[in-house]
Amino acid sequence: METNTIPRPQFMNSEPPRMSTTEAFSDEEYRNSSAQSPMSPYFYDPTRMSSEGSPMMMSPWNQTTNSPFSKPQWSQNYDEAARQNALIGSLVREEGHIYSLAATGDLLYTGSDSKNIRVWKNLHEFCGFKANSGLVKAIIISGQKIFTGHQDGKIRVWKVSPKNPSVHKRAGTLPTLKDIFKSSIKPSNYVEVRKHRTALWIKHSDAVSCLSLSNDKAYLYSASWDRTIKVWRISDSKCLESIAAHDDAVNSVVCGIEGFVFSGSADGTVKVWKREQRGKGTKHEAVQTLLKQECAVTALAVNTTGSIVYCGSSDGLVNFWELEKQFAHGGVLKGHKLAVLCLAAAGTLVFSGSADKTICVWKRDGVIHTCMSVLTGHDGPVKCLAVEEDREAAARGDPRWVVYSGSLDKSVKVWSVSEANNQMPQHHMVSDGDSFPPSESDGSYSSSGRPNHERRN
């Protein structure tokens, strides 16, 4: 361990977007490179379509089969801390690392690198369906339709059978074969996606990393490692727009209120886009660049009211901005030792999952965030999160959330978390300060809430 200072990121409120050389990181396990340290910089290569430098690859927290630290199998025994943190149970099917989750009511959809989408009901396996190819990196539910984003760059659409809710039928792919055929006729519909290679603008040319629905459920957004965000009209499956959003892989896209859309990338930036109606289509204008830093942006989330956007990075930090103050930077949450891989917000709570195998539960009061607890129990990086209201507990006057966490240990853990949870000593964060769970700090606290020194691996 050596002591050094973490460089503070630059927060951009009004400048035009400017790109910098980045520490490339994406949410996939990558090729084994023993010569590379876990957090070494990986500089941007214009010919590289996907980010290829992962701080997880050579880490003891990496549970992938290519990792020198991988174990032949993982333990299902829960430690005492996990039980104290209201662990309800664990859903295990030894078929692949869990990359995506989506919850609705008592149903949970899970996606893995096995190409299977499993459906769980009341913590028991309900049914499943399988894609022809492509690891399942994103799942989103819109009514009776389920959209899945895949490693092969495709978005697949599934429908629940009205006669039998356990049957899911393939309804198509985005873009549709009809639109591909119509677009392929015109040479102007082809764009350069890498050196000496062109593709139709309506198709992703690399992995789909994230999906997000607009608040009115009219539009689906897909983010990709091909550096673009595509906008789909759900009513007719049309690709309305392809946004050349970033200089490196887009790891996350999330919709906010008032037509705002946020994107985060391996190029180290968080951008704000504004959707405007243009005839029957849409046009997205770049409004602001909120963040510019050396390390990659790995996850985004917007709180329930749409007033705050959160950003997780490969350095383990979570930054946030306030919409009501023209996206003024609100502060930094520090609770993880390794990269933040996923974020979720519900009620007054924010959840951050990390490559360090833990989930931090933050409670928000205005801009002050308190780390209420740290959920432990996974044996691998926490890759995805989904949150649903516990309606039975709410009916009893005990507001609670059911939190699902998917991990590269091939399991999904299910937690019960209360809005009033107060298991740990509290530490508060002031505006533009850092918030640390007491157990994570090795230095004394200054008046701003920032430790005077800290250690990094």
DSSP string, 229-288: EEEEETTTTEEEEEEE--SS-EEEEEE-STTEEEEEETTSEEEEEEEEEETTEEEEEEEE
Q: Is residue 5 part of a domain?
A: no
Q: Is residue 2 part of a domain?
A: no
Q: Is residue 3 part of a domain?
A: no
> What would the mean pLDDT of 132-161 be, rounded to a whole number?
95
Residue 259 has pLDDT above 90, yes or no: yes
Q: Is residue 29 part of a domain?
A: yes
For 65-74, the pLDDT digits (tens) are 443 333 323 3
Residue 448 has pLDDT above 50, yes or no: no
Residue 6 has pLDDT above 50, yes or no: no
Q: Is residue 156 part of a domain?
A: yes
> What would the mean pLDDT of 17-45 be, rounded to a whole number?
34
Instruction: Identify whether the C-beta of residue 209 lies closer than 8 Å to the C-beta of residue 226.
Output: no
Between the CA atoms of 244, 247, 252 and 256, what dihedral angle is there, to the nearest 10 degrees?
A: -50
- How sure is the predictor about 454, in pLDDT bands with cuts at 50, 70 and 90? very low
Q: What is the CATH number of the domain that holds 89?
A: 2.130.10.10
Rounded to 5°, the CA angle 102-219-353 comes to 30
Q: What is the DSSP letter of 162?
A: S
Q: How many domains is the chain partitioned into structurally?
A: 1
> What would the mean pLDDT of 165-181 be, rounded to a whole number?
94
Which amino acid does the sequence have at 304? T
> What would the mean pLDDT of 316-345 be, rounded to a whole number?
96
Which of these ranges, 27-31, 175-179, 217-221, 230-234, has the smallest mean pLDDT?
A: 27-31
Instruction: Identify whether the C-beta of residue 256 lies closer than 8 Å to the C-beta of residue 306.
Output: yes
Domain range for 65? 14-456
- How sure is the predictor about 31, in pLDDT bands with cuts at 50, 70 and 90? very low
Q: Chain-wide mean pLDDT for the chain?
A: 79
Where is 346: in which H helix or E strand? strand 340-346
Residue 29 has pLDDT above 50, yes or no: no
Q: Is residue 7 part of a domain?
A: no
Residue 400 has pLDDT above 70, yes or no: yes
d(CA 422, CA 434) in angstroms, rounded, equals 20
Q: The whole model's pTM is what?
A: 0.79
Among 251, 315, 351, 338, which residue's Cα sits nearest to residue 63? 338
Residue 80 has pLDDT above 50, yes or no: no
Among 128, 103, 126, 105, which residue's Cα sits nearest to residue 116? 128
Q: Is residue 428 part of a domain?
A: yes
SS3 153: coil
Choose between 258 and 425: higher pLDDT: 258
Q: Is residue 131 part of a domain?
A: yes
